């Protein structure tokens, strides 16, 4: 069995949805995971924003506009009047459901239900198309097997057992379609795996069903050696290890959801990144493989906040860091980077939900201060500390940019530097020129 996940661009219009049929592997059992049509989730977010601000007229206007887009998509997608009629009914049902929310006061729970509509629509449309073409397939409702627990982590046992139960009802069937991104939470309510979460759905299903390969089809020919949104002439990286890919996903390479590599790594399932617009391109393969040393790619993680504690009591004290970390643990706030001196500790976080409480608790250890609008630039590859030259290249490239923190040597796979957000593009470009200018095809 394999998993093929197609992102928003790959289902972005009628022509691309039809083209999925050329990309699907019909030779073996296949669970196809679909995102919402590109732009839909953003539009649903915008509808929830209008509802939060009680602007019901604006919300209804946005719902009406999006509904029109789906009527248009159905016109372009289906050839038979029966499927057009079925899809019209489906659109009306989903959008009258959305309109119901404008009649009541709005809550977070309802927001999650609204955001789920994109994936529900795209998968229903694709299933209709397959039916119209008489291609056998089964629509697996993700809300019946994908679940997160009280800590918002995937409930692996529930996912595995329920997926098995659903698949066992269709032993003769080879092609399955399901929704990415959406799930239920520990209370059975509709929830999601956070933005970009369809990649995570694909790897969680891959892990649960122990598949042969997980394919992520998107709008670019694999993972590039730098962020193509900020740097020109980036190049695809042919091969990455699980560790390298996990670091890149976590540190901002948007092509992969931050958590999507771990489930594949746990079951040793290769992850292949492919371009649905240029299927002939090789893309990137992520697998358990010893690689040659070198910095393979650079990524940037935005919206980082630094928390610093200065304390005379830290001098020669043991147990101080444990007490500091405990505060972050209580508030379930992960720390990304940390540097220490004899009298101070700096830590970077990206989740500031509980920052206020964290600062109050930390004050008993010393004087605290906070710096916002920071970015972590992560250089990822196989970077053995026994080989020289890596740190000097990084410092050379960034000689004109103030570096706030550095992390080097913690793992063989990552050198991270923390800089001001405003220097991000310059830093990514300077590092690119320094590290890859000989390889780039300018
Ligand atoms: P999808 O909708 O298919 O999930 P995404 O927009 O989530 O697609 O991810 C693909 C995008 O990720 C690319 O178009 C590119 O702009 C961005 N991206 C950021 N960093 C990288 C990188 N290192 N390599 C490739 N793409 C990247
Ligand atoms: N549709 C969701 C989003 O836009 C999930 C995804 O595309 O992966 O974030
Ligand atoms: Mg994505």
Provide the pLDDT for residue 311: 86
Ligand 2 proximity of 12 Cβ (cutoff 6 Å): no
Q: Residue 196 C-alpha to ligand 2 middle, in angstroms? A: 4
Domain identity same for 200 and 321: no
Question: In the predicted model, is pLDDT for residue 440 greater than 70?
Answer: no
Ligand 2 atom nearest to CA at 7: 7
Which two tokens mark 100? 């119901």
Ligand 2 proximity of 198 Cβ (cutoff 6 Å): yes
Provide the pLDDT for residue 86: 98
Of 174, 199, 218, which one is at a domain's C-terminal end?
Answer: 218
Of 183, 198, 218, which one is at a domain's C-terminal end?
Answer: 218
51 in any annotated domain: yes
Domain identity same for 157 and 301: no
Ligand 2 proximity of 38 Cβ (cutoff 6 Å): no
- Give the domain range for residue 306: 296-440
Provide the pLDDT for residue 228: 97
CATH code of the domain in which 158 resides:
3.40.1160.10
**Region 187-204 average pLDDT:** 97
Of 218, 240, 267, which one is at a domain's C-terminal end?
Answer: 218
Ligand 1 atom nearest to CA at 38: 2
Distance, in Å, from the CA atom of 312 to the CA atom of 289, rounded to the nearest integer, reads 46
> What tens digit of pLDDT does each residue of 386-395 get?
888 898 999 9
Ligand 2 proximity of 366 Cβ (cutoff 6 Å): no
CA 296 centroid distance within chain: 20
Nearest CA to ligand 1 atom 5: 255
Nearest CA to ligand 1 atom 9: 255
Question: In the predicted model, is pLDDT for residue 442 greater than 60?
Answer: no
Domain identity same for 200 and 304: no
47 in any annotated domain: yes
Q: Residue 41 C-alpha to ligand 2 middle, in angstroms? A: 6
Question: In the predicted model, is pLDDT for residue 185 greater than 80?
Answer: yes
Q: Residue 310 C-alpha to ligand 3 middle, in angstroms? A: 40
Domain identity same for 63 and 159: yes
Domain identity same for 189 and 46: yes
pTM: 0.94
SS3 content of the chain, % helix, strand, coil (to 5): 40, 25, 35
Ligand 1 atom nearest to CA at 257: 7
Please report which ligand is nearest the Cα atom of 195. Answer: 2
Question: In the predicted model, is pLDDT for residue 370 greater than 80?
Answer: yes
- How many helices and strands in the chain, by DSSP H and E? 14, 16
239 in any annotated domain: no
377 secondary structure, DSSP code: E
Assign 7 to helix, strand or coil: coil
Ligand 2 proximity of 192 Cβ (cutoff 6 Å): no
228 in any annotated domain: no
420 in any annotated domain: yes
Domain identity same for 24 and 132: yes
Name the band, by pLDDT with cuts 50, 70 and 90, for residue 204: very high
For the chain, the residue count is: 442
Q: Residue 220 C-alpha to ligand 1 middle, in angstroms? A: 7
Ligand 1 proximity of 35 Cβ (cutoff 6 Å): yes
**Region 158-181 average pLDDT:** 98
Please report which ligand is nearest the Cα atom of 181. Answer: 2
Domain count, the chain: 2
Name the band, by pLDDT with cuts 50, 70 and 90, for residue 227: very high
Distance, in Å, from the CA atom of 143 to the CA atom of 181, rounded to the nearest integer, reads 10
Which long-range contacts (C-beta less than 8 Å, at least 24 apart) are formed by 19-27?
19/276, 20/126, 20/276, 21/129, 21/130, 21/133, 21/135, 22/279, 23/217, 23/276, 23/279, 24/175, 26/174, 26/175
Question: In the predicted model, is pLDDT for residue 73 greater than 80?
Answer: yes
- Other CB atoms within 10 Å distance of the CB of residue 253: 22
Domain identity same for 13 and 154: yes
Domain identity same for 322 and 412: yes
Provide the pLDDT for residue 316: 61
Question: In the predicted model, is pLDDT for residue 439 greater than 70?
Answer: no
Distance, in Å, from the CA atom of 128 to the CA atom of 86, rounded to the nearest integer, reads 8
Q: Residue 396 C-alpha to ligand 2 middle, in angstroms? A: 38
Please report which ligand is nearest the Cα atom of 202. Answer: 2
Which has the higher per-residue pLDDT, 186 or 410? 186
Ligand 1 atom nearest to CA at 229: 16
382 in any annotated domain: yes
Per the prediction, the chain carries an average pLDDT of 94
> What tens digit of pLDDT does each residue of 265-278 get?
999 999 999 999 99
CATH code of the domain in which 323 resides:
3.30.2130.10
63 in any annotated domain: yes
* Dihedral sign for Cα atoms in the order 434, 436, 439, 442: negative
Lowest-confidence segment of 7-11, 154-158, 220-224, 407-411 by average pLDDT: 407-411
366 in any annotated domain: yes
Domain identity same for 200 and 305: no
% of the chain exceeding 70 in pLDDT:
98
**Region 49-65 average pLDDT:** 94
Ligand 1 atom nearest to CA at 236: 24
Of 154, 176, 179, the C-alpha closest to 167 is 176
> What tens digit of pLDDT does each residue of 314-359 get?
666 788 889 999 999 999 999 999 998 888 899 999 999 999 999 9
User: DSSP for 27-49?
Assistant: SS-EEEEE-PPTTHHHHHHHHHH
């Amino acid at each position: 069995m394999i998993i093929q996940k197609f992102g928003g661009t790959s289902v972005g219009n009628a022509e691309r949805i039809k083209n999925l049929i050329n990309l699907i592997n019909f030779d073996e059992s296949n669970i196809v995971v679909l995102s919402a049509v590109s732009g839909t989730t953003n539009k649903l977010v915008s509808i929830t924003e209008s509802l939060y601000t009680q602007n019901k007229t604006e919300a209804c206007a946005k719902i009406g506009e999006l509904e029109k887009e789906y009527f248009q998509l159905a016109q372009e997608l289906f050839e038979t009047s029966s499927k057009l009629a079925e899809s019209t009914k489906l659109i009306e049902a989903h959008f009258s459901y959305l309109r119901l929310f404008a009649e009541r006061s709005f809550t977070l729970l309802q927001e999650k239900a609204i955001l789920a509509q994109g994936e529900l629509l795209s998968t229903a449309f694709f299933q209709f198309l397959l039916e119209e073409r008489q291609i056998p397939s089964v629509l697996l409702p993700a809300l019946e097997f994908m679940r997160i627990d009280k800590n918002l982590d995937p409930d692996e046992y529930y996912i595995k057992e329920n997926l098995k139960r659903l698949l066992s009802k269709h032993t003769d069937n080879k092609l399955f379609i399901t929704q990415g991104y959406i799930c239920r939470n520990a209370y059975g309510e509709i929830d999601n795996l956070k933005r970009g979460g369809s990649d995570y759905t694909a790897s969680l299903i891959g892990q649960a069903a122990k598949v042969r390969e997980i394919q992520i089809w998107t709008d670019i020919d694999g993972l590039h050696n730098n962020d193509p949104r900020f740097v020109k002439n980036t190049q695809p990286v042919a091969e990455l290890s699980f560790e390298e890919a996990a670091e890149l996903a976590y540190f901002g390479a948007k092509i992969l959801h931050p958590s999507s590599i771990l489930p594949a790594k746990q079951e040793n399932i290769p992850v292949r990144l492919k371009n649905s617009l240029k299927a002939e391109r090789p893309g990137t393969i992520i697998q358990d493989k010893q690689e040659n040393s070198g910095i393979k790619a650079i990524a940037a993680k935005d919206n980082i906040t630094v928390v610093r504690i200065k304390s005379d009591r830290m001098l020669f004290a043991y147990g101080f860091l444990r007490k500091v970390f405990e505060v972050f643990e209580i508030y379930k706030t992960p720390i990304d980077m940390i540097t220490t001196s004899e009298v101070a500790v700096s830590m970077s976080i990206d989740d500031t939900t509980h920052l206020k409480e964290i600062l109050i608790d930390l004050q008993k250890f010393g004087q605290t201060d906070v710096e916002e609008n920071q970015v972590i630039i992560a250089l990822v590859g196989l970077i053995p500390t026994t080989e020289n030259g890596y740190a000097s290249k990084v410092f050379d490239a960034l000689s004109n940019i103030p570096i706030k923190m550095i992390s080097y040597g913690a793992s063989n796979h990552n050198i991270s530097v923390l800089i001001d957000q405003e220097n991000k593009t310059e830093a990514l470009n300077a590092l690119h020129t320094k590290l890859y200018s000989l390889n780039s095809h300018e």
